[in-house]
Amino acid sequence: MKKAIILLMVFILAAATVLTGCQPPQKDLSWADDAVIYEVNLRQYTKEGNIEAFKAHLPRLKEMGVEILWFMPIHPISAVERKGTLGSYYAVADYKAVNPEYGTLDDFKKLVKECHQMGFKIILDWVANHTGWDNPWISSNPEWFTQINGKIIYPAGTNWTDVADLNYSNMEMRKAMIDAMCFWVKEVDIDGYRCDYATGVPKDFWEEARTELDKIKPVFMLAEDDSEFGLLDKAFHANYGWQLLKSINNVALGKASISSIKQDIRRNAAIYPNGTYPMNFITNHDENSWNGTEYERLGDAVEVMNALIFTAPGIPLIYSGQEASLNRRLAFFEKDEIDWTDLSAQDFFKKLVKLKNDNKALWNTNSKGNLTLIEASDKNVLVFTRETDKNRVIFIANLSNKAISSVLKFTDYKETYTDIFTGKEFNFKDDVQFELKPWGYIILTKK
């Protein structure tokens, strides 16, 4: 009798799978709790600029400790209305294909499989707001695009003349878009998406897409947005920490006080729905190409601001070349190879990633309610603690270009701590005096 019941249950589950066309969820997203995102600019990563050449860097990235590899769009790029020689990664000609300059679909499948075997997770950049002008949808289904007087237009309010705006009032187009997103999860086994211009697409579409994707397996979803928090209710796990980046830029340039950074990290620890968080960064493909390198914008504050985004509430991002101290803007529409000669900054990032992995207080989903700001005697000193289950991390930084001697009150934190960079121990009493170099910082841990 028991055997018959078990067989009946198996039959029901199998039937449900056939009816939905999706596999039952295979695993949860706990792997993202302590993860760091690494953005891969495949075109500029190597001389060859392809999938096969990139593979040579996987052992190095594994050694650095990053877990989530975010690939900028890997799709074929439209030739019609193309900008520059190679065009924009975000002018997609075919949602179910790989740019032949990078390799084949089979090449990418093999890369994903190899990455999974090494412990990486893969998220793809997804462009749902628009397509390139020679995407086959243009000719086969022009009604899927926004039109004025019968003419397809590029996204309103932008200068994105190389792309055509999609019409989300068309339900058939929505189905096709979700089908394409499911394709990469089903057929290639990717682990999620970074969604370009997320507010350029209706929220209910993202929620429907997330529901369908999760039928295949739970996926990690990152929204390029920091204004519509409703996107985090059902569709996305994380969004962009643009407000913190703005404050970081202004403090480094002397245009704002550190109170703006205090306000941002306090806000991020309080307002995000449970289980969601911002992605913190000081550079990415857009910042580097259009707004200036991290060194242009932050100068000598680059290192301390990197340390800040790894300790503040949220998930940190490393962009291609940061570990090689990339100090020039990469051309967006042309070939512009990253120079990997100097990897002296890689050990710095390795220590920060290890800090994130080893300290539950810093885990992405532990951001809510575990932040405490500590007042210092100097207004340019930023001090905060993050604590979870008796694991405590203390961040102390001089966010100015002058040396500072500051007294900190650690009445509630009388413990012995270890400096993650030097291994030096600090035994705190009520008041502690710190001598901090310009843009100097200390990160202390207690387990």
**Residue 6: pLDDT over 70:** no
Average pLDDT over residues 220-243: 97
**Residue 8: pLDDT over 60:** no
* pLDDT score, position 411: 81
Hunting for tokens 């550190």 — which residue is that? 258
* pLDDT score, position 73: 98
* pLDDT score, position 28: 82
* pLDDT score, position 413: 86
Average pLDDT over residues 75-82: 98
367 — pLDDT class (breaks 50, 70, 90): confident
**Residue 57: pLDDT over 80:** yes
- Who has greater pLDDT, 126 or 411? 126
* pLDDT score, position 26: 35
* pLDDT score, position 7: 38
* pLDDT score, position 262: 97
Contact predicate 107/175, CB 8 Å: no
Average pLDDT over residues 424-444: 92
Average pLDDT over residues 105-112: 98
Cα gap 86→208, rounded to integer Å:
33
* pLDDT score, position 412: 84
**Residue 9: pLDDT over 70:** no
What CA–CA distances, in Å, run from 297 to 245, 285, 437?
A: 11, 14, 20
Contact predicate 338/45, CB 8 Å: yes
DSSP string, 48-64: S-SHHHHGGGHHHHHHH
Contact predicate 183/210, CB 8 Å: no
**Residue 406: pLDDT over 70:** yes
Q: Which domains does the chain have, with CATH numbers?
A: 25-368 (3.20.20.80), 373-446 (2.60.40.1180)
Residue type, 175: K
15 — pLDDT class (breaks 50, 70, 90): very low
**Residue 202: pLDDT over 50:** yes
Beta-ladder partners of 100? none
**Residue 304: pLDDT over 50:** yes
Contact predicate 415/446, CB 8 Å: yes
78: phi then psi, degrees, rounded to nearest 5: -60, 145
* pLDDT score, position 20: 35
Nearest in space to 132 (alpha carbons), one of 199, 70, 187, 80: 80
Average pLDDT over residues 391-414: 93
DSSP string, 278-300: EEE-S--HHIIIII--HHHHHGG
Average pLDDT over residues 405-433: 89
* pLDDT score, position 195: 98
Contact predicate 112/189, CB 8 Å: yes
367: phi then psi, degrees, rounded to nearest 5: -75, -25
**Residue 24: pLDDT over 50:** no
* pLDDT score, position 16: 37
Cα gap 126→74, rounded to integer Å:
9
Pairing relationship of beta strands 441-446 and 416-419 according to DSSP bridges: antiparallel
Residue type, 183: F
414 — pLDDT class (breaks 50, 70, 90): confident
Average pLDDT over residues 114-131: 98
Nearest in space to 343 (alpha carbons), one of 331, 364, 356, 325: 325
**Residue 25: pLDDT over 80:** no
At 235 the three-state DSSP class reads coil
pLDDT in tens, 257-279: 999 999 999 999 999 999 999 99
Q: Any residues with CB less than 8 A from the CB of 40 and at least 6 apart, and which?
A: 54, 69, 70, 71, 72, 320
**Residue 2: pLDDT over 90:** no
**Ranges 17-31, 107-121, 194-208, 417-431: which has the least confidence:** 17-31
For the entire predicted model, the pTM comes to 0.93
* pLDDT score, position 13: 38
* pLDDT score, position 350: 98
